[in-house]
Structure 1
Amino acid sequence: MTRHIRHAAAFCALLLLALLLNALRVQVVRSAAYDGNPANRRESIARYGQPRGDILVGGAPVTGSRDTGEQLRYERTYLDGPLYAPVTGFASQEYGTTFLEHAEDDLLSGLDPMLAPLPLWNDVTRGRPPGGMVVTTLDRRAQQAAYAALDGRKGAVAAVEPATGRVLALVSSPSYDPALLSGNDPGAEAAWRRLNGDPDRPMLNRAVSQTYPPGSTFKVVTAAAALDAGVVTDLDAPTDSPVPYRLPGTTTRLTNSGDGCADAPVREAFEWSCNTVFAKLGVRVGLARMSRTAQAFGFNDPDARIPFPVATSTFDTSLDQAQLALSSIGQYNTRATPLQMAMVSAAVANGGQVREPYLVERTTRRGGATVGTAGSRSARQAMSPSTAVRLRELMEDVVREGTGTRAAIRGARVGAKTGTAQHGIGNAGTPYAWCISWAQGRRDIEPSVAVAVVVEDGSANRGEITGGGMAAPIARAVMAAVLAP
């Protein structure tokens, strides 16, 4: 009898050892495979088992969480979703995350180790602290003004604070409500199909993810290069620029949309956006200097982030002289995001310095304790301070008596450059209307806002599409909102 008990005990011990070995295999050796298995819903259940942290604008949340009572318990909600969609992006149980929801996902979902007072204990218990908060740099009034001024027209607005690089507004139109995609029900699936099939592409962030030919707004860069290189020393001296201007090495003749550009001084050519003058200036400056200046403003930077990625604005560095002439007036292969062109305007307003733009002021725990801050932002000199002073004069002239009079704000110092960019095969596409600008309030020591607006309104009459007519009033509305007491 005793022998049978010993055999049974040994057999039970072997079974127990086998169970322990199997548990070791499952939890250690095979843990990565099981964690990554699509059928394993534990991570998803834990992820949506608590409210997500919020994104704040002006100290108030523009996001929230709704208790569904289902297995994936909490769904994301949005306040004024279409207004802030280019900033927040979406957080969907079915389709993942985009923009700030993606860039700050670890913090918002509670996975960031900086949120845990006892990280080792959380590792043992597999618990997670409450999601943190993301405090943005946005100016609520500027964001609302930009969205209202676009009024559903296809286009985008970007506004920054020149001295710091803080992003004050980031609007893309048409927009959409990210809350439509939050869940995993048939409604979310239907919304996903509808939004992706919409020819107006409402989920495209035109402010940072789309590049456009900047047209005549790029003449700010060309003027900066010409002044810094000494190609232009007197803004009021004749430039010996013929009309039409024959592109070097070709029979193609470049003309202007208005009269009075023949041999026009740079000041007049800038005010009335003479293509012939600036195309010739770009050729005289040369490809190397034009490329260096464009890159100093932020073109050709593949690593731009705010903290989510920004599409690379491009200035081609392998051009012949004819192509350089066209590129110097913002055509040919020159492409820019609205955020990049806001940086160009900000550099003029900030004494020639470009501050890297950023959208997150700080991150905090649920209770408000700071986890991280933006810190000091790197700066680079796009042009000499004296050149920036002269470009300020030129941009103010545009508002006072040139193509940008509709950007003027009573009692404020305002500078602008408008543009109408051609695109498409043979320039057959409906032109894009541009305006870049900056404004300084009566009590401000330096300009406090720089703005870029692009409108791609295919419903308008081609002859009525101008930067001064369509984009300048939008820029004015945004600047006025920032300057308002």
Structure 2
Amino acid sequence: MTRCIRHTTVFSGVLLAALLVNAARVQVVQPAVEDGNPADRRPTIARYGQPRGDILVGGRAVTGSEDTGEHLRYERTYTDGPLYAPVTGFASQRYGETLLERTEDPVLSGTDPMLSALPLWSDLARSRGDGGDVVTTLDPAAQRAAFRGLGDRTGAVAAIEPSTGRVLALVSTPSYDPGLLSGNDAAVARAWARLNADPDRPMLNRAARQTYPPGSTFKVVTAAAALDAGVVRDLDARTRSPDPYTLPGTTTRLTNESDGCRDVSLRDAFTWSCNTVFARLGVETGARAMAATAEAFGFNDTGLRIPYPVAPSTFDTTVDRAQLALSSIGQYNTRATPLQMAMVAGAVASGGQSRAPYLVERRVTAHGTTLSTTGPRHARQVMKPSTAARLRDLMRDVVDRGTGRNAALPHATVGGKTGTAQHGLGNTGTPYAWFVSWAQADGAVEPAVAVAVVVEDASARRGRITGGGMAAPIARSVMEAVLRSR
């Protein structure tokens, strides 16, 4: 009898051990397989079973979480959703996440190991802690000034702090309310269909994810390349620049919007935006030097993150001389995001150095403990300091006495460059109005802000669309907002 009991006990122990091993296999070894089962709603229910962490601007949360009392309990809410949509993106129970909601999801959703005191145990137990918060670099006053300045026009604004790369404003219009996509009911599906069918593309982040021909604002890059290469040594010496200029190897004649561009100095050509001077200057500088300078500024960089990906700005490195002439005035295949052109202005403002832009200042727990910080990245020397000093002089002239006078500010030094970019088949599209600039308060050690503005559908007759008239006032309001907050 004792022997039978012993055998039964051993057999029962083996069965128990087998059950424990199988349970461990299912819960630990195969969780990924089970999570992939569409019939298993537990991960989804757990994901939305607690409030999501917040995205903060100027110390204030611009996101929130609403308790719906349903199985997917918490839905995302947004304060001033259209204002901050190009920064936050959306977090939707039906359509996933975009922009910061996507790149910062581990912190916001509470799954980041940094949020757990015992990350290994949390991973084995498959538990999630309270969501953390993401603190952005945005200046709320600058963001609002940019949004108000664009109004009901299609366009974008990007503003950065030149000395650090902190993104101070990132605005795209028309915009949308991300809260319309938060849930998973029929209203969300209708909003999704309506937004995607809208020809104005309100969900497109034009400030960081759309490229445009930069037009004459690219002349900042061309001037930097020519000065660094020694093609031009004296800003006030007359150039050998015909008007009109016949593109090399063609019979196509390039003209100017203004008179008096024949043989003018680089200073006057920059101030009054003479196409013929800069097209010829780009050809004389050469494709290799032009491409090297453009890439130093950040063109052709496919890896830029802020932390979400930025569309690469491009400068064609395979051009012939005629194409190079057009590329040097921001046409042909030259394309740039507003964020990239803010980086161009920022490099001039900061003595020829450029820092990669960043949008997240730090990540913190729900109780305010810092998990990680971003901070300025390593600066790269884009051009010689002496070249940057001369470009600052040229950009000041544009605002003081040239096409950018609408950007002038009292008690501050402002430099800028206007641009009107042709586009469309045969350049028949309504031109884009551009303005890039920087501002330094009187008595300040360094410039506080660099801005780029593009307006797609300037509401004026084609001949009156100018960067100075349409885009410069918007840049002025953003610069003024930043200077006031310092």
TM-score normalized with structure 2 length: 0.96
SS of structure 2 residue aligned to 1:212: coil
SS of structure 1 residue aligned to 2:77: strand
CA deviations on 1:264-294 (whole Å, 9 max, x unpaired) are 1111110110000000000000011001100
2-structure distance, mates of 1:296, 1:19:
62
Q: Please report the RMSD computed on the Cα atoms of aligned residues, expressed in angstroms.
A: 1.9
Residue type of the alignment partner of 2:44 = S
Distance apart, 1:31 and its partner CA: 3.0
1:465 has 2:445 as partner: no
1:322 has 2:322 as partner: yes
Distance apart, 1:20 and its partner CA: 5.0
After superposition, the Cα gap between the structure-2 partners of 1:375 and 1:483, relative to the gap in structure 1 and judged at 3 Å, is closer
1:138 has 2:150 as partner: no
| Matched residue, 1:89 | 89
CA deviations on 1:297-335 (whole Å, 9 max, x unpaired) are 000100000000000000011110000000000000000
Distance apart, 1:26 and its partner CA: 3.3
1:273 has 2:270 as partner: no
SS of structure 1 residue aligned to 2:39: coil
Equivalent residues in 2 for 1:7-156, closer than 5 Å: 19-20=19-20, 23-24=23-24, 26-28=26-28, 30-156=30-156
SS of structure 1 residue aligned to 2:453: strand
1-structure distance, mates of 2:346, 2:6:
85
CA deviations on 1:151-198 (whole Å, 9 max, x unpaired) are 021000000001111100000000000000000111111110000000
Residue type of the alignment partner of 1:128 = R
Task: Please say if residues 248 and 321 of structure 2, whose CA atoms lie closer than 8 Å, have aligned partners that are also in contact.
Answer: yes
| Matched residue, 1:312 | 312
* 5+ long unaligned stretches in structure 1: none
Residue type of the alignment partner of 1:471 = A
Structure 1 consecutive aligned stretches of length 4 or more whose deviation exceeds 6 Å: 1-15
2-structure distance, mates of 1:430, 1:158:
22
Equivalent residues in 2 for 1:289-308, closer than 5 Å: 289-308=289-308
Equivalent residues in 2 for 1:425-440, closer than 5 Å: 425-440=425-440
| Matched residue, 1:287 | 287
| Matched residue, 2:220 | 220
| Matched residue, 1:245 | 245
SS of structure 2 residue aligned to 1:268: helix
1:333 has 2:333 as partner: yes
Distance apart, 1:445 and its partner CA: 1.5
| Matched residue, 2:389 | 389
2-structure distance, mates of 1:151, 1:280:
38
Task: Please say if residues 85 and 177 of structure 2, whose CA atoms lie closer than 8 Å, have aligned partners that are also in contact.
Answer: yes
The range that moved more, 466-475 or 369-378, is 369-378
After superposition, the Cα gap between the structure-2 partners of 1:39 and 1:288, relative to the gap in structure 1 and judged at 3 Å, is same
CA deviations on 1:221-275 (whole Å, 9 max, x unpaired) are 0000111111001111111100110000111110011101011111111011000
2-structure distance, mates of 1:81, 1:312:
26
2-structure distance, mates of 1:112, 1:462:
52
Aligned residues: 485
1-structure distance, mates of 2:46, 2:295:
45
CA deviations on 1:79-128 (whole Å, 9 max, x unpaired) are 10000000000011111111111111100100110111122332343322
2-structure distance, mates of 1:333, 1:358:
27
Equivalent residues in 2 for 1:470-485, closer than 5 Å: 470-485=470-485
| Matched residue, 1:417 | 417
1-structure distance, mates of 2:151, 2:314:
29
Task: Please say if residues 458 and 470 of structure 2, whose CA atoms lie closer than 8 Å, have aligned partners that are also in contact.
Answer: no
Equivalent residues in 2 for 1:325-404, closer than 5 Å: 325-404=325-404
* 5+ long unaligned stretches in structure 2: none
Residue type of the alignment partner of 1:41 = R
1-structure distance, mates of 2:30, 2:483:
59
| Matched residue, 2:168 | 168
After superposition, the Cα gap between the structure-2 partners of 1:361 and 1:29, relative to the gap in structure 1 and judged at 3 Å, is closer
1-structure distance, mates of 2:11, 2:371:
55
2-structure distance, mates of 1:445, 1:195:
45
2-structure distance, mates of 1:222, 1:214:
12
Fraction of identical pairs, as percent: 72
1-structure distance, mates of 2:294, 2:24:
59
TM-score normalized with structure 1 length: 0.96
Residue type of the alignment partner of 1:152 = D
CA deviations on 1:312-370 (whole Å, 9 max, x unpaired) are 00001111000000000000000000000000000110000001111111111111111
Residue type of the alignment partner of 2:82 = P
1-structure distance, mates of 2:185, 2:296:
48
